[in-house]
């Protein structure tokens, strides 16, 4: 979580906005309008509640029963969506709220609902670079080549320099999507092994590691033995039962004979973009410019693309390769790339390149 978001949570605590108070804000717009609040404050409260739920979640059944009657909530993101939807109804002229709502829809795999919002933003403001960029990115993800070319042209009319920079981001993203997934540590060049960055995987509710994380750690262990001088970054900060992924990853590697002095802990991240954000900082601090990313085969293309864009956005010259734990039934399946993966990779690569999902609220 970035400093802005941390300060936001502090303000929420200072104002005694607990989860229940946050839920009390989630009422139909007509009821909100009856309260003695300005529209600006109502929108601000809805934004804060949305981001609180994004990071922390809450009691979905309570929210569904008491505040979203008639709406079936599929998860925490459903609450986020409803908050931003109500905010857009309160302030329909604000394209930033439409952008937040569209980002949430993308995260919910509702791209077909998000794309009209980006188009609406462009109708209201033909110079809206962010909306045009995401339309271009998702057309690229969907392999709509004609529409992609048109959107790139529109971007160039808005801001030629930024359009050129982001076009290169999209080209690098496509290159990551088309690269073969490396499944064997024997394929790694020793020159690429200054560091090994192993990405965490959500722990079980009781705080134990799940099979995909063990798979990633076994790959890491093999690489660590093959390249005994390499540093190892364990990345993952989502706590379960009082422990984080990175803590358990460290303990597991140490139990297998890896010297703790080699292990650098990144325990702040909650998603792939944050993995890259904090891990790139650690790499830079330790003057490490070539790293192997370890993740699952289903995730490693996204990770390499995101790390590449994050390093560039921070002004670092770094080279990333990867070695994956195969979470598919065969190596052939590991090489296939479907549309859902393409969408997620483009989504997160654009975030890492500098366009946040919720600008000013979180990355």
Per-residue pLDDT of the chain (363 residues; tens, 9 = 90+): 444 344 434 433 333 333 333 434 444 444 344 443 588 888 998 999 899 888 888 877 777 776 666 676 668 899 999 999 999 999 999 999 999 999 999 999 999 999 999 999 999 899 999 999 999 999 999 999 999 999 999 999 999 999 999 999 999 999 999 999 999 999 999 999 999 999 999 999 999 999 999 999 999 999 999 999 999 999 999 999 999 999 999 999 999 999 999 999 999 999 999 999 999 999 999 999 999 999 999 999 999 999 999 999 999 999 999 999 999 999 999 999 999 999 999 999 999 999 999 988 876
Question: Measured between alpha carbons, how far is 35 from 211 in angstroms, rounded to an integer?
Answer: 50
Question: Measured between alpha carbons, how far is 167 from 116 in angstroms, rounded to an integer?
Answer: 22
Question: Measured between alpha carbons, how far is 295 from 272 in angstroms, rounded to an integer?
Answer: 11
To which H or E segment does residue 199 belong? strand 195-199
To which H or E segment does residue 321 belong? strand 319-325
The Cα angle at residue 250 between residues 244 and 254, in degrees rounded to 5? 150
Query: Does the pTM of the predicted model rise above 0.85?
Result: yes
Q: How many helices (H) and strands (E) does the chain have?
A: 17, 5
Question: Measured between alpha carbons, how far is 224 from 232 in angstroms, rounded to an integer?
Answer: 8
Question: Measured between alpha carbons, how far is 88 from 117 in angstroms, rounded to an integer?
Answer: 11
Cα dihedral: 48, 53, 59, 65 (round 10): 60
Cβ 78 vs Cβ 63: under 8 Å: no
**Three-state DSSP class for residue 250:** helix
What pLDDT score was predicted for residue 63? 73
């Amino acid at each position: 979580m970035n400093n802005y978001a941390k300060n936001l949570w502090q303000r929420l605590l200072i104002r005694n906005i607990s989860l229940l108070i946050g839920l009390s804000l989630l009422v139909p717009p007509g009821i909100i309008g009856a309260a003695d609040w300005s529209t600006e404050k109502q929108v601000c409260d809805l934004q804060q509640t949305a981001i609180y739920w994004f990071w922390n979640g809450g009691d979905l059944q309570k929210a569904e029963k008491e505040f979203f009657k008639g709406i079936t909530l599929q998860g925490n993101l459903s609450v986020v969506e409803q908050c931003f939807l109500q905010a857009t109804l309160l302030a329909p002229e604000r394209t930033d709220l439409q952008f937040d709502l569209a980002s949430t829809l993308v995260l919910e795999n509702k791209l077909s609902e998000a794309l009209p919002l980006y188009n609406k933003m462009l109708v209201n403001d033909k110079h809206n670079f962010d909306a045009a960029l995401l339309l271009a990115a998702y057309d690229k993800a969907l392999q709509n080549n004609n529409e992609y070319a048109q959107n790139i042209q529109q971007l160039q009319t808005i801001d030629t320099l930024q359009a050129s920079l982001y076009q290169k981001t999209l080209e690098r993203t496509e290159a990551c999507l088309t690269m073969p997934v490396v499944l064997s540590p024997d394929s790694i060049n020793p020159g690429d092994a200054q560091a090994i960055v192993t990405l965490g995987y959500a722990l079980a509710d009781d705080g134990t590691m799940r099979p995909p994380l063990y798979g990633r750690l076994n790959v890491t262990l093999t690489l660590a033995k093959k390249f005994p001088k390499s540093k190892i970054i364990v990345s993952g900060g989502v706590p379960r039962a009082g422990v984080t992924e990175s803590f358990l990853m460290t303990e597991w590697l140490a139990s297998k004979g890896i010297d703790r002095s080699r292990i650098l802990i990144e325990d702040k991240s909650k998603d792939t973009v944050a993995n890259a954000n904090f891990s790139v900082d650690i790499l830079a601090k330790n003057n490490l410019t070539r790293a192997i990313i370890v993740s699952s085969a289903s995730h490693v293309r996204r990770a390499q693309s995101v790390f590449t864009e994050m390093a560039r956005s921070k002004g670092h010259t770094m080279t990333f390769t990867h070695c994956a734990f195969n979470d598919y039934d065969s190596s052939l399946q590991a090489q296939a790339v479907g549309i859902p993966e393409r969408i997620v990779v483009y989504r997160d690569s654009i975030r890492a390149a500098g366009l946040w999902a919720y600008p000013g609220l979180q990355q």
